[in-house]
């Protein structure tokens, strides 16, 4: 797949004090919806601003739409919605769209036509001639998204697009994103609203403290943490624990503190069968048995808790007792 964004070793140090980006590598393919996750202060917006020449990187190699990072001409095909945008309040939404269209080099006739079309798409046609000063946060966000699409961009970068938008508005935005994907555009989403990303993204990356922790499709990322959970009706006896561990020594497993649940780190159901047999032969009554797949939120929290120098202060370990074949 052709890479729309392809950067390596992006580094940004502010005034030799704050290390905002620490050698970030990122590839975003054409036509995909890519989500960048991360807690506040992770460096997500800084990375986007580096791509858009708003911030100068300390170090960066790579390209945006086939042109070197920093090349302004590439931006003619990029649409951008900043996180805390502040479009002129003295302009109407139609004027905002036409203004930014002109700034992107869209000719007069096209931008007039496109402004009306986009206002229709973001359900703001009735407010086209009202000044932004009278808009709610959600309405301004809709206009912002329309603004990002004025130049018919190949790449759309949206920084927290659902910020301040009500549930109906969020659904509308999701629909717009799907529409953009169907039109073959690449969408880069910056958000910490995991459920939103999970619903629309083809690939995600998790960024923490200026480092890219994980990157891949949601399927790929969650596969590692997928497995099975067996729940017994009473705490497991030591002999039962010993029995199931010796029955499947190749699978990593963990018993939760109350001794009722066992988690198996494998997506292969066949490998868990000997453990079930061992438990049942030791008189354990299995109350429930199910597949477990971590959510994006689980991955996110896990990534955030994995501090570069150790565990995040105050963070709780998910599994107090873990083993790979043998319970400790």
Query: Interface residues with other proteins (CB under 8 A)?
Result: 14, 49, 52-56, 72-76, 78, 80, 82, 84-88, 90-91, 95, 99-100, 102-105, 107-108, 147
Q: How many CA atoms lie within 13 A of 65 on its CB side?
A: 21
Shortest reach from residue 139's CB to other proteins, in Å: 16
Nearer to other proteins, 158 or 275 (CB): 158
Nearer to other proteins, 3 or 55 (CB): 55
Residues 258-297 as b/e (b if ≥16 CB within 10 A, e otherwise) read ebebbbbbbbeeeebebbbebbeeeebeeeeeeeeebebe
DSSP 131: B
Shortest reach from residue 177's CB to other proteins, in Å: 19
CB 88 within 8 A of CB 133: no
Nearer to other proteins, 99 or 312 (CB): 99
Nearer to other proteins, 73 or 219 (CB): 73
Residue with tokens 């995040």: 312
Shortest reach from residue 156's CB to other proteins, in Å: 12
Shortest reach from residue 100's CB to other proteins, in Å: 6
Nearer to other proteins, 90 or 290 (CB): 90
Burial of 1 (0-12, 13-18, 19+ CB in 10 A): exposed
Nearer to other proteins, 76 or 315 (CB): 76
- Closest Cα to residue 95, out of 165, 150, 54? 150
Nearer to other proteins, 105 or 257 (CB): 105
Give 262's contacts (C-beta < 8 A, 6+ positions apart).
229, 230, 232, 236, 244, 253, 254, 255, 256, 275
CB 293 within 8 A of CB 300: no
Shortest reach from residue 168's CB to other proteins, in Å: 25
Shortest reach from residue 80's CB to other proteins, in Å: 4
Q: Which two tokens stand for residue 74?
A: 């590439």
Burial of 181 (0-12, 13-18, 19+ CB in 10 A): middle
Shortest reach from residue 130's CB to other proteins, in Å: 14
């Amino acid at each position: 797949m052709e890479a729309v964004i392809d950067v390596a070793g992006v580094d940004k140090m502010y005034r030799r004090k704050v290390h905002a980006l620490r050698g970030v590598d990122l590839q975003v393919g054409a036509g995909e919806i890519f989500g960048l996750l991360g807690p506040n202060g992770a460096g997500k917006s800084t990375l986007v601003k580096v791509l858009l020449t708003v911030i100068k990187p300390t170090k960066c190699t790579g390209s945006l739409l086939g042109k070197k990072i920093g090349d302004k001409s590439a931006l003619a095909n990029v649409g951008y919605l900043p996180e805390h945008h502040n479009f002129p309040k003295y302009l109407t939404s139609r004027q905002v769209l036409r203004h930014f269209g002109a700034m992107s080099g869209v000719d007069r006739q096209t931008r007039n036509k496109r402004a009306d079309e986009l206002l229709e798409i973001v359900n703001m046609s009735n407010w086209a001639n009202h000044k932004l000063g009278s808009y709610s946060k959600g309405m301004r966000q809709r206009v912002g998204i329309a603004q990002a699409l004025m130049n018919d961009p190949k790449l759309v970068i949206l920084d927290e697009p659902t910020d301040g938008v009500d549930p109906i508005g969020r659904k509308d935005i999701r629909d717009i994103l799907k529409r953009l994907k169907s039109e073959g555009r690449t969408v880069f989403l910056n958000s910490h609203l995991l459920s939103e990303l999970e619903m629309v993204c083809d690939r995600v990356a998790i960024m923490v403290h200026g480092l890219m922790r994980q990157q891949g499709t949601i399927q790929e990322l969650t596969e590692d943490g997928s497995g099975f959970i067996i729940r017994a009706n009473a705490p497991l006896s030591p002999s039962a624990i010993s029995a199931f561990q010796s029955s499947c020594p190749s699978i990593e497993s963990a018993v939760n503190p109350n001794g009722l649940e066992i988690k198996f780190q494998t997506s292969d159901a066949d490998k868990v069968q000997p453990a079930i047999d061992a438990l049942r032969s030791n008189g354990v009554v299995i109350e429930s048995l199910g597949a477990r797949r971590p959510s994006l939120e689980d991955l996110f929290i896990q990534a955030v808790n994995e501090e570069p120098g150790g565990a995040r202060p105050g963070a709780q370990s998910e599994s107090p007792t873990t083993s790979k074949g043998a319970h400790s």
